Amino acid sequence: MREARVRQGYTESRIAAAKHFGHEFMMTMPPSAQMPFPLATRAAALEMLQAFLPKAGAGYAQWRNYDFGPGQHTRVSALSPYIRHRLITEEEVVRGVLTQHSPEAAEKFIQEVYWRTYWKGWLEMRPSVWADYLADLDQLGPPNAEAQAAMAGRTGIACFDNWAAELVETGYLHNHARMDGDPASNTLSWRWVAGLQTPGKTYLATPENIATFTQGRFQPEAILHGPAPEGPANPPAQALPAVPKLPDAPFLLLLTEEDLHAESLALRAGQIAGLAGLAPSRDGLSPNVAAFRNAALADGLMRAADHFGQGAPVLDAGALLDHARGLGLTNIVTAYAPVGPIASQLAAFAQQAATQGLALHYVQRAWDRAAWPLATKGFFPFRQHIPSLLPK
């Protein structure tokens, strides 16, 4: 079988291909009508959460690693596309689980939710890892033939090709077959698999695990050897960026696709004198992913408009500044965006705003503020804090 072609282990190009593949925004395959893409609304997320809650205890712990195939992911929550954009928040998910299970019974699922938070905190204290990753991608240039084959699902490795197609067609993969569309979870999980996050120790899939957890749907014959690539040591944790107090004056509330549940932000509604959405770049996005994100942003703005009683246009940076000035405002407030593309876009926007006498302020969720400072080392030390972090 052609699986034998990967037996020599990861070369640098294979690592690069894996990184490219891991980000859903690098996918360029055409949409498929075989499976529906997730409905990008908060209502859909809440409905899925309610359906999953009875399964979040012992059943999840027993079955969470089994990938039964497209349309059959009924033993896991499948909420990651929604949590990624905070159409539903991590706190809501955990609170919901705790209404039906004890922390001990739902320990495994709760830990999986906190993995996402841990990765964000870890990267927030080490932003140079993200900057180095982007620099490496720029240095690599356009995806090579190997990377193109991976993104198109044409490697000849049956499980990989099927998972690549499923991700593009449905917008979702089982947790045992993917990393995530979240910049921190995705980038750091790939580093973990490759042996960079835990230097020298790789976590590659084995043929036995693939066969077992797909219940024999895939039975690769190759023995995968993946020596960890050489790389710089993980940088030491630095202090988290300070989030200054919000202005007392009225402001424009800015929504980004990083956090689309503005109704639950710690804000005084009376100060919100305007509302708008930031138009993000869609360069390199597959049509399905772009459509999901556009719909998610529209859903978030519609709910925020109803909640705060404001109109909610989607504007680019220049138009946003004109909109704020037109409302007589000099302050703009947005949900804090962790390290990633939206954070970079907001940083550039803040600089542009400052040149025109406007200030961008951030509001940070208590969930992040409590957990991120604890992500100084590995996840296992971090998870010892989970009982004290659980919502009361």
Percentage of residues of the chain with pLDDT beyond 70: 90
Q: Give the model's confidence band at 140: pLDDT under 50 very low, under 70 low, under 90 confident, else very high.
A: confident
- Nearest-10 Cα torsion for 87, 110, 91, 46: 40
More confident residue, 18 or 324: 324
Q: What pLDDT does residue 208 have?
A: 92
Q: Give the model's confidence band at 25: pLDDT under 50 very low, under 70 low, under 90 confident, else very high.
A: very low
Q: What pLDDT does residue 232 have?
A: 86
Q: What pLDDT does residue 224 have?
A: 65
Q: Give the model's confidence band at 347: pLDDT under 50 very low, under 70 low, under 90 confident, else very high.
A: very high
Report the distance separating Cα 180 and Cα 346, nearest Å: 22
Q: What pLDDT does residue 7 have?
A: 26
**Residue 164 — φ and ψ, nearest 5°?**
-60, -45
Q: What pLDDT does residue 3 have?
A: 31
Please determine, for residue 31, whether its predicted confidence score (pLDDT) is greater than 60.
no
Asked if residue 103 lies in contact with residue 383, where contact means CB atoms within 8 angstroms, the answer is: no
CATH superfamily of 251-363: HUPs (3.40.50.620)
Report the distance separating Cα 226 and Cα 201, nearest Å: 10
Report the distance separating Cα 231 and Cα 209, nearest Å: 28
Q: What pLDDT does residue 248 have?
A: 94
pLDDT digits (tens, 9 = 90+) for 79-107: 999 999 999 999 999 999 999 999 999 99
**Helix 183-194 crosses helix 12-22 at what angle (to 10 degrees)?**
150
Which residues, including other chains, have CB under 8 Å from residue 76's CB and lie 6 or more apart? 52, 60, 63, 64, 174, 175
**Residue 366 — φ and ψ, nearest 5°?**
-60, -30
Q: What pLDDT does residue 288 have?
A: 86
Please determine, for residue 13, whether its predicted confidence score (pLDDT) is greater than 60.
no
Report the distance separating Cα 306 and Cα 24, nearest Å: 31
Beta pairing class for 359-363 and 331-335: parallel
Report the distance separating Cα 298 and Cα 312, nearest Å: 9
Q: What is the mean pLDDT of residues 246-254?
A: 96
Q: What pLDDT does residue 221 have?
A: 82
Report the distance separating Cα 272 and Cα 319, nearest Å: 18
State the greatest distance between any 2 C-alpha atoms of the chain, in Å, as a whole number: 67
Length of the chain: 392
The segment(s) of the chain belonging to CATH 3.40.50.620 are 251-363
Copy the structure tokens of residue 41. Answer: 């609304």
Please determine, for residue 294, whether its predicted confidence score (pLDDT) is greater than 80.
yes
Across-strand partners of 278?
Answer: 315
- Cβ burial of 50 (10 Å; 0-12, 13-18, 19+) is exposed
Percentage of residues of the chain with pLDDT beyond 90: 72
Please determine, for residue 214, whether its predicted confidence score (pLDDT) is greater than 70.
yes
Q: Give the model's confidence band at 36: pLDDT under 50 very low, under 70 low, under 90 confident, else very high.
A: low
Please determine, for residue 338, whether its predicted confidence score (pLDDT) is greater than 60.
yes
Report the distance separating Cα 359 and Cα 246, nearest Å: 11
Q: What pLDDT does residue 124 have?
A: 98
Give the range among 13-22, 146-155, 219-228, 304-313 with minimum mean pLDDT. 13-22
